[in-house]
Chain A
Amino acid sequence: KQEVTQIPAALSVPEGENLVLNCSFTDSAIYNLQWFRQDPGKGLTSLLLIQSSQREQTSGRLNASLDKSSGRSTLYIAASQPGDSATYLCAAMNNAGNMLTFGGGTRLMVKP
């Protein structure tokens, strides 16, 4: 059974810092890995999706990498802003393409 872990569970940084969020998964046979953002009381917003054959994806100040062999993905946020404060979730899709397994999330606070 796939297990997805995110470390740290919470992170507080001053505005302007570059930061890295970590995601690890136990079964490397994944279809893709997706990073989401969740604001309090809201749904999930898709940030980046990395196919199993890809190593990284970038969108604006966000860069996500994937290392299937080691079961790890990282989300890099450059020049953090208070508006980046949210919970960030990673999720691994199984090879059949019909199930996402989520990590517990990293709650990020960016202080002005």
Chain B
Amino acid sequence: NAGVTQTPKFRVLKTGQSMTLLCAQDMNHEYMYWYRQDPGMGLRLIHYSVGEGTTAKGEVPDGYNVSRLKKQNFLLGLESAAPSQTSVYFCASSYVRGGRIEQFFGPGTRLTVL
């Protein structure tokens, strides 16, 4: 099991460029999430999905879009990157079993927007 994987690991963008971050999990988890981690702000939820074809906004969704066309993949898109989106992005997935929900995280994508 690879667990949760993220592509790419690093990326540098110029203001206004677009990009898509890919998250994949091979654990057959129902839920998937995108977070950003910033110094002094901790981890904050951007968007999440409770199943294939469904997505919902988290705490800081502005400037991002997501899609979950397949159960194992969760894509995060930046349509017009801004310097404020410089951050480390983490994807996570969780199972829902017997009332227990536990999140597992990927290694992160470090994004710099110039």
Chain B interface size band reads: 20 to 34
- Count contacts on A: residues with CB < 8 A to the other chain: 23
Report whether A43 and B107 are in contact in the complex, using a CB–CB cutoff of 8 Å.
Answer: yes
Report whether A46 and B102 are in contact in the complex, using a CB–CB cutoff of 8 Å.
Answer: yes
CA–CA, A34 and B96, complex, Å: 15
For A50-92 the 0/1 string (1 means CB < 8 A from B) is 0100000000000000000000000000000000000001010
Report whether A98 and B31 are in contact in the complex, using a CB–CB cutoff of 8 Å.
Answer: yes
User: Which residues of the other chain, B, contact A100 by a CB distance below 8 angstroms?
Assistant: 33, 43, 45, 103
User: Which residues of the other chain, B, contact A32 by a CB distance below 8 angstroms?
Assistant: 100-102
Q: How far is the CB of B5 from chain A (nearest CB, A)?
A: 10
Specify the main secondary structure of chain A where it touches its partner: strand
Q: Which 5 A-B pairs have the closest CB atoms?
A: A44-B105, A102-B43, A43-B107, A43-B105, A102-B42
25 A-B pairs, CB-CB below 8 angstroms?
Answer: A31-B101, A34-B103, A36-B105, A41-B108, A42-B108, A43-B90, A43-B105, A45-B105, A46-B102, A46-B103, A46-B104, A49-B100, A49-B102, A51-B100, A91-B103, A93-B101, A97-B101, A98-B31, A98-B56, A99-B45, A99-B48, A102-B42, A102-B43, A104-B42, A105-B42
